């Protein structure tokens, strides 16, 4: 029986609609099994009629005018419940297709009342009643459905009985772990959810064929409660059996087997199966992965598993563009191969061509290097940079290990070697040759890489350097950055976002540190409203000198105001300092503005307009514009 299916190319789901249908299905599953005893004040909850597709198809012998209408639902104060009713209503969804007769309209009304009853019972309102009438004194007609919800029934008791042969099972989870609380609203979805948690618990503890054998739910109108009893059949205790792989072509089978987190004969644990599915999906090698446990064990008491693959395309090309007022336009191009040698090796060649920066980069990634969730990454890069602070022509190579500790934490470290010819303004050209050890610790709990709406990010990045720049050099560069995101509504249409970044350089004076390793601020990725790199110390020609410490901070209010369009008022602040730590007695530069966002499947397109608040004459322009893909942070 197939249990896991994933397609690499996915599309955004209508989550609220799916959520509604899940409630309806939950109600339909549970209610036909509710039993009652009328003489004792208890009644059996009757099976509900299945939902029709429309319920409003009219057969007419003569052309008639459409019966236009509006709908008003009365008696529902809870916004979430009202939303469920409106999403399930045929009167709402087919309002743009009015029926051809009043009889057709009444059929829609009757159909909606049945749908509403399903939702009421799924939400625990087993005594709910509704009345409908048509007000023909208005134009168009007004359909009025008045609802008397009555009390919301609560759980009185919830019992679980295991069938014989379950002696080897560990103690079952408590009711709270199953999502059931005595005295809480008796929602149908909570009962269905408890059953799923039960069978999942069994499957995680060596019983993958567990099922609920019987369910009884009794509604008592006298005390407005529900009593639920389940019979659990955990099935036999089984182990992992042989794994059969089908559909592999360019991907080496031994690499896929390396990702399997169990050995044949280990006790069955569904969590390990889900872990394998995630690993396979994260390789980006497959457009579809179907994990199929056998429906019956083999003679050895093992459950064989078949994994069926459809390999995705391994090569891709892409392009991007951006424009910042003080930096000019830039275009980015890349080519990537995600399975260069058959074991998920990733080769990426990219280039950026702009008025300030031109570079070409090569990166090769070897996934799961010597252990799972550990990558070996090698890079080579040639750069030409022309700014108001310096001109640079250089090359750099590096090799580093990146290890994912868990779903939140990642660490990385490895040596780098770079050499560059750097010419500062009004200075002679000098050669810089440095051996470094770039490292970082990264924590990410956000929900989206390009457009986060909740969670936090923290990055600590120390890099020691030794080498030559005019003389022998050794210094330590440290950067600490963090950002946070707070969603203000369930749909995450309104988000508060903030960030802070602090940097320090130890070991050498500013003039002895290569110009490209100093800190600079200002620009579209830093303090908006100010020219690129020009926040901080300037020389007599207003060219940036850079500094040994940095402080930046930003705050944004991201609001989706209409469809895929959003507005983002923001404020940025900070400065660069000659000292090794920020000197708060010096003036900080502040910029503010407003941005537009157009949200796409690859991230938001950003257009920001920023103004310097404490503007410097002959240095800062009145306004700066920024166009890019992705949020500012």
φ, ψ (nearest 5 deg) of residue 84:
-60, -45
Element (H, E) at 377: strand 374-386
Question: Where in the sequence of the chain do the CATH 3.10.20.310 domains occur?
Answer: 48-54+66-148, 238-311
pLDDT tops 60 at residue 16: no
The confidence score (pLDDT) of residue 62 equals 52
CATH of segment(s) 48-54+66-148:
3.10.20.310
pTM score: 0.74
The confidence score (pLDDT) of residue 58 equals 45
Using alpha carbons, select from 625, 620, 623, 633 the residue that is nearest to residue 608: 625
Q: Tell me the mean pLDDT in the region 410-437.
A: 94
Q: Are strands 141-148 and 129-135 parallel, antiparallel or unpaired?
A: antiparallel
The confidence score (pLDDT) of residue 326 equals 87
CATH of segment(s) 406-629:
2.40.160.50
pLDDT tops 80 at residue 191: yes
Q: Tell me the mean pLDDT in the region 430-459.
A: 95
Distance CA 319, CA 328 (A): 17
The proportion of the chain whose per-residue pLDDT surpasses 70, expressed as a percent, equals 90
Q: Tell me the mean pLDDT in the region 293-309.
A: 95
Distance CA 552, CA 378 (A): 31
Sign of the alpha-carbon torsion through 391, 393, 399, 403: positive
The confidence score (pLDDT) of residue 398 equals 98
- Using 50, 70 and 90 to split pLDDT, how confident is the model at 64? low
Q: Tell me the mean pLDDT in the region 1-8.
A: 32
pLDDT tops 90 at residue 165: no
pLDDT tops 50 at residue 33: no
Task: Report the interhelical angle of 15-30 vs 79-88 (nearest 10°).
Answer: 90
Distance CA 309, CA 249 (A): 9
Q: Tell me the mean pLDDT in the region 130-157.
A: 94
* Length in residues, the chain: 633
Cβ proximity of 417 and 397 under 8 Å: yes
pLDDT tops 80 at residue 516: yes
pLDDT tops 70 at residue 540: yes
Question: Where in the sequence of the chain do the CATH 2.40.160.50 domains occur?
Answer: 406-629
The confidence score (pLDDT) of residue 50 equals 40
The confidence score (pLDDT) of residue 89 equals 95
> Within 10 Å of residue 562's Cβ, how many Cβ atoms?
8
pLDDT tops 90 at residue 173: yes
Cis before 140 (ω within 30): yes
For the chain, give the mean pLDDT.
88
In the numeric block, the tokens 């770079």 are attached to 418
CATH of segment(s) 238-311:
3.10.20.310
């Amino acid at each position: 029986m197939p249990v896991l299916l994933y397609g690499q190319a996915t599309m955004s789901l209508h989550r609220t609609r799916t959520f509604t249908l899940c409630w309806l299905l939950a109600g339909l599953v549970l209610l036909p099994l509710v039993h009652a005893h009328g003489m004792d004040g208890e009644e059996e909850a009757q099976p509900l009629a299945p939902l029709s597709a429309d319920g409003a198809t009219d057969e007419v012998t003569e052309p008639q005018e459409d019966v236009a209408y509006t709908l008003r639902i009365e008696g529902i104060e809870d916004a979430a419940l009202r939303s469920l009713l409106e999403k399930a209503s045929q009167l709402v969804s087919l309002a743009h297709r009015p029926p051809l007769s009043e009889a057709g309209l009444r059929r829609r009304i009757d159909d909606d009342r049945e749908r509403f009853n399903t939702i009421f019972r799924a939400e625990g309102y087993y005594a709910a009643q509704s009345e409908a009438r048509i007000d023909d004194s208005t134009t168009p007609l007004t359909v009025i459905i008045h609802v008397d919800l009555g009390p919301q029934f609560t759980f009185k008791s919830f019992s679980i009985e295991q069938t014989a042969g379950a002696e080897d099972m560990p103690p079952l989870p408590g009711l709270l772990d199953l999502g059931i609380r005595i005295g809480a609203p008796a929602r149908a979805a909570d009962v269905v959810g408890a059953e799923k948690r039960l069978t999942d618990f069994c499957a995680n503890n060596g019983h993958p064929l567990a099922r609920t054998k019987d369910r009884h739910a009794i509604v008592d109108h006298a005390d407005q409660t529900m009593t639920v009893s389940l019979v659990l059949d955990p099935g036999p205790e089984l182990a992992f059996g042989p794994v059969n792989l089908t559909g592999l072509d360019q991907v080496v089978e031994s690499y896929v087997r390396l990702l399997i987190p169990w050995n044949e004969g280990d006790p069955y644990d569904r969590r390990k199966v889900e872990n394998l599915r995630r690993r396979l999906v994260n390789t980006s090698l497959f457009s579809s992965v179907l994990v199929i446990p056998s429906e019956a064990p083999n003679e050895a008491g093992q459950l064989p598993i078949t994994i069926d693959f459809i390999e995705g395309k391994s090569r891709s090309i892409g392009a991007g563009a951006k424009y910042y007022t003080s930096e000019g336009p830039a275009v980015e191009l890349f080519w990537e191969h995600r399975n260069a040698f058959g074991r998920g090796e990733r080769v990426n060649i990219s280039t950026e061509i702009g008025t300030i920066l031109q570079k070409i980069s090569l990166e090769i990634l070897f996934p799961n290097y010597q252990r799972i969730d550990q990558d070996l990454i090698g890079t080579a890069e040639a750069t030409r940079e022309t700014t108001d602070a310096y001109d640079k022509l250089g090359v750099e190579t590096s090799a580093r290990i990146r290890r994912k500790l868990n779903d939140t934490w990642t660490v990385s470290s490895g040596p780098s070697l770079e050499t560059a010819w750097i010419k500062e303004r009004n200075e002679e050209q000098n050669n810089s040759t440095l051996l470094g050890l770039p490292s970082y610790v990264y924590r990410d709990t956000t929900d989206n890489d390009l457009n986060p709406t909740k969670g936090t990010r923290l990055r600590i990045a120390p890099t020691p350097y030794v080498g030559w720049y005019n003389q022998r050099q050794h210094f330590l560069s440290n950067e600490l950055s963090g950002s946070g995101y707070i969603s203000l509504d369930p749909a995450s249409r309104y988000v508060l976002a903030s960030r802070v970044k602090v940097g320090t350089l130890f070991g050498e004076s500013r003039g002895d540190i290569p110009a490209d390793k100093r800190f600079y601020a200002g620009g579209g990725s830093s303090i908006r409203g100010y020219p690129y790199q020009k926040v901080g110390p300037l020389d007599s020609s207003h060219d940036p000198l850079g500094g040994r410490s940095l402080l930046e901070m930003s705050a944004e209010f991201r609001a989706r105001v209409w469809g895929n369009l959003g507005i983002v008022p923001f404020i940025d602040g900070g400065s660069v300092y000659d000292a090794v730590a920020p000197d708060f007695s010096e003036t900080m530069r502040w910029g503010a503005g407003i941005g537009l966002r157009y949200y796409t499947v690859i991230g938001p397109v950003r257009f920001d307009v920023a103004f310097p608040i404490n503007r410097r004459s002959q240095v800062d322009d009145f306004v700066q514009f920024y166009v890019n893909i992705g949020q500012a942070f």
